Amino acid sequence: MLHAVIMKSHLKNSLYTLGSLKEVNDYLFQFNTLNFISRLNGEPLRNEGLQKKYVKDLIKEVWKTVAWDARNVKEGIYPESVRFRKSLFEKTAGFINILKDYPSVIKRRKENKVLVEKQGLEHSHLPHYYKHAFHFQSDGYLSEHSARIYDQQVDILFTGTADIMRRSFFPTVINYFKEKGEVPDRIIEIAAGTGKGSAMLAQVYPTAEFTLNDLSSDYLRHAKKLLNIKNMKTLNAAGESLEGVQDNSFAISFQIFLFHELPFATRREVLAEQVRVTKSGGLVVFVDSLQLVDRPEWSEILHDFPKRYHEPFYRDYIKDDVSALFEEVGGVELIHSETLLLAKCLIARKL
């Protein structure tokens, strides 16, 4: 009987791992298709020399990342429902929309048009850094069209591992509150975009009130339509100025893939605001790209990324050690630091 239970557990873990690897394969096919089109237009999405040099290391890290996620599900750290895998039909339909948009992306990249070309009155108040066409994507973050295709664009970029990296903070946060005997009551995601991080975390904490903050009213409207979070609010404001949010309001504040798209000074302002709105004893969570201090042996990969995609603040970001930034801002104690594939995760307890 015990043997059967163990075999069933191993089978479930293997199936979960294989399912994740299928995701990797599906999105790798889409990436290679876009890269083929890009190469024909003289704008390859990756440096082929670097790809050959690091491919074995990257494949090994992808496998470790998928296995890490499968293990967390197997051990019951977080439920399998945190996965939001699309059907083949949904992936194909989404990819067709991306392909329709792709000629304008290539044209923008060739002409080096780095600012959003059309802006309505509702976008006139935005800080200059936010008016960039990040990744050369159409409309930057300033249209619902951009919001509709964004998640799949990220899945393609990270070949199906984006959500796993987004979940990098889940085990530490879950164990922290379990040990305290508490369930977080209020959670804020800063620069939530389409709200993917909150949607996954709501599978762990379905009774919590979630606040999705973002500068893009278009992305927040899209999130409202799509997300099935029982208790959700939105806050259309800059992460460096969370107007109307009182001090010590949230048990968890988190941000995912934000800092690399912020100027030097703004990163400090955002983290200070994040600490301000977090309760004493609550957690301040950061997830973003690796930095040079994390994987110096991958410095060529990190330096090549902004050459392929419009990321005006990335070169500065990879040198701006966020661990030291937590100390600089103060008021927190760093309790966890980890890297997972191309992401780093830092978690601090507010004092």
The 10s digit of each residue's pLDDT in 315-329 is 999 999 999 999 999
DSSP H or E run through 2: helix 2-40
For the cut 60, the answer to whether the pLDDT of residue 6 exceeds it is: no
| Mean pLDDT of the region 230-251 | 96
Q: With cut-offs at 50, 70 and 90, classify the pLDDT of residue 17.
A: low
Instruction: Band the pLDDT of 4: cuts 50, 70, 90.
Output: very low
The residue ranking higher by pLDDT, 112 or 3, is 112
What pLDDT was estimated at residue 65?
A: 96
270 closest CA partner among 251, 257, 289: 257
Q: What pLDDT sits at residue 125?
A: 82
Q: What percent of the chain has pLDDT over 90?
A: 87
- pLDDT at residue 171 tops 50: yes
**For 149, phi and psi rounded to 5 degrees?**
-100, -5
Sheet containing strand 209-214, edge to edge, reads 232-236, 209-214, 186-190, 250-256, 278-289, 343-350, 332-340
Q: Is the pLDDT of residue 119 over 60?
A: yes
Share the mean pLDDT of the chain.
92
Mean pLDDT calculated for residue range 11-25: 69
* pLDDT higher than 90, residue 121: no
Task: Report how far residue 80's alpha carbon sits from residue 64's, in angstroms, rounded to the nearest whole number.
Answer: 18
- The model's pTM is 0.93
- Written out in words, the top-level CATH class of the domain with range 162-350 is alpha beta
- Give tens-digit pLDDT for 183-232: 999 999 999 999 999 999 999 999 999 999 999 999 999 999 989 898 99
pLDDT given for residue 313 in this prediction: 98
Return the domain boundaries, the chain: 2-82, 90-157, 162-350
pLDDT for the residue 9: 41
pLDDT at residue 338, rounded to an integer: 97
